[in-house]
Amino acid sequence: MEPLENMLEIITCAILIFLSVVGNTCLFFSTRRCISGPLQPSFLLIFSLIFVHLLKNLVVNVMKIVYSSGGVLDSVSCRILRFTETLTTELAIWFMLHFAVLYCHKLYQIVHPSSETPNPNHQKRHLKVVSILWITGVGICVPILPFTEKPQHLNAANGTELLNTKGLNMDCEIDFGNQQVEYYYEKIVLVLIDLLPLTILVFVCFWIVFLLWEQRKLTYGDIWVGEDASEIEIFRGAKVSILLTLLITSLWISHFVFICFFKNLESRPFTPALLTALSSGFSAVSPYVLMLVNYKVKLEAFCCRKTEKSTTQPTDVLSCPYV
C-alpha cells in the first residue's frame, strides 16, 4: 500500500500547491491594484494571509512531496516542517479573526452610526496588532525548533533515514525530555492557541449575521437612506468573513477529530492525503473566496480598473474591495 499512499499524497500536495500559488498570486496583484494611498488595515491583513498561505504550501507541502518521493527525513527537516506548519496554521486563524473583527466593526458603524470623530491612529493601531500577531506566533512556536526530533525507530535498517509516509508531521515528535512539559505544550498550549481564536471567530461571525439582519430590517422598513460603494463592499466583506469562518473552522475541527479519534485509520492509504487536504485546504481555497468580495469583477484584472478621466462623473464606478 505504501506506493499508493505516496502517490495519493503527492497528487494532493501538487493540487494544493497549484491552487494556492495561482489563487494567492491573483489575490496579491488584484489587491495591489486597489492601493491608491496609505496601506489600509484590510490590505495589510490580505497580504499577511497571502504570505502565510504561500509559506505553508511552498515549504510544508513541497517537503511532503520530496519525502513521499523517497527523500531523506532528518531532524532538521522535522524541525522546519513542524515549525512552519504550526506557525502558518495559527497565524491563518489569528489573521482571519482580525479580518472578521475589522469588518464587524465597520459593519457596526454603518448599522449604528456614531457622531464621534474617527480615530486618526486607526491604521497605526492595526499595523501594531498585525506585528504583535507575527511576533507572538513566532515566539510560541520557537520551542518546536530545538526540541523536535525524528524518533530513532524510523531509521531504516541500512542506516539511512527514509520517510515513513503514514504521516510526516506525526513522525516528527516534540521531545522536551519531560512528559509533563511535553503534554502541556503540545496537547494543551498548541491546541488552545488555535481553538480559542476559532471560538471567538465563530461568535464574531454570529454578531456579523445579527448586524446584517439589522441592516436588512432597516432597509425593508424604508429607514435605510441608501448604500454607497464603500458600504456595499463592507457588506460583501462581512459575508465573506462568514464563509471563510465556516471553511477554516470545519477544516480545523475535521483535522483535529481525525487525528485524535480515528487513529485506527492511520494504516489506510488515503490517510496522509486526507490530512494534507484538511491542513492545507484553507490556504488553497480562501484566496478565491476573498476575491469574491467584489463579485462584479469582470475582465479588468479582478478589481480597481482605472477608468479614464472625464469631465462627468460616471454613474457606474467599479469600486475597490476591502475598503
Task: Enter the C-alpha cell of residue 29.
Answer: 496583484
Strands 148-149 and 173-174: antiparallel
Cα 211 to Cα 265: distance, rounded to the nearest angstrom: 43
Cα 33 to Cα 296: distance, rounded to the nearest angstrom: 16
Report, as an integer, the average pLDDT of 135-157. 74
The better pLDDT of the pair 319, 144 is held by 144
Report, as an integer, the average pLDDT of 44-67. 90
The better pLDDT of the pair 44, 155 is held by 44
Query: Does 277 reside within a domain?
Result: yes
* Whole-angstrom Cα Rg for the chain: 22
Give the pLDDT of residue 75. 77
Domains held by the chain: number: 1
Give the pLDDT of residue 143. 87
Report, as an integer, the average pLDDT of 187-193. 88
The residue behind cell 525548533 is 145
Give the pLDDT of residue 296. 45
- Interval 7-37: pLDDT, tens: 888 899 999 999 999 999 988 888 887 766 6
283-302 core/surface letters (b: 16 or more CB in 10 A; e: else) = bbbbbebbbebbeebeeeeb
Query: Does 157 reside within a domain?
Result: no
Q: What percent of the chain has pLDDT over 90?
A: 31
Ranked by mean pLDDT, the top range of 82-86, 172-176, 222-226 is 82-86
Give the pLDDT of residue 95. 94
Confidence of residue 285 (pLDDT cuts 50, 70, 90): very high
Confidence of residue 235 (pLDDT cuts 50, 70, 90): confident
Report, as an integer, the average pLDDT of 237-264. 87
Query: Does 146 reside within a domain?
Result: no
Query: Does 150 reside within a domain?
Result: no
Report, as an integer, the average pLDDT of 153-159. 42
Query: Does 266 reside within a domain?
Result: yes
Cα 291 to Cα 52: distance, rounded to the nearest angstrom: 17
User: Would the pLDDT of 126 be above 70?
Assistant: yes
CATH number of the domain that residue 15 is part of: 1.20.1070.10
Going 33 to 39 to 43 to 46, the CA torsion angle's sign is: positive
Task: Enter the C-alpha cell of residue 41.
Answer: 488595515
Give the residue numbers spanning the domain of 28.
2-114+170-289
Query: Does 307 reside within a domain?
Result: no
User: Would the pLDDT of 203 be above 80?
Assistant: yes
The residue behind cell 542506516 is 159
Confidence of residue 173 (pLDDT cuts 50, 70, 90): confident
Cα 291 to Cα 278: distance, rounded to the nearest angstrom: 21
Q: How many residues does the chain have?
A: 323
Give the residue from 215, 299, 285 showing the smallest Cα distance to 250: 285
Query: Does 308 reside within a domain?
Result: no
Query: Does 6 reside within a domain?
Result: yes
Residue 106 exposed, middle or buried by CB count within 10 Å (0-12, 13-18, 19+)? buried
Give the pLDDT of residue 301. 37
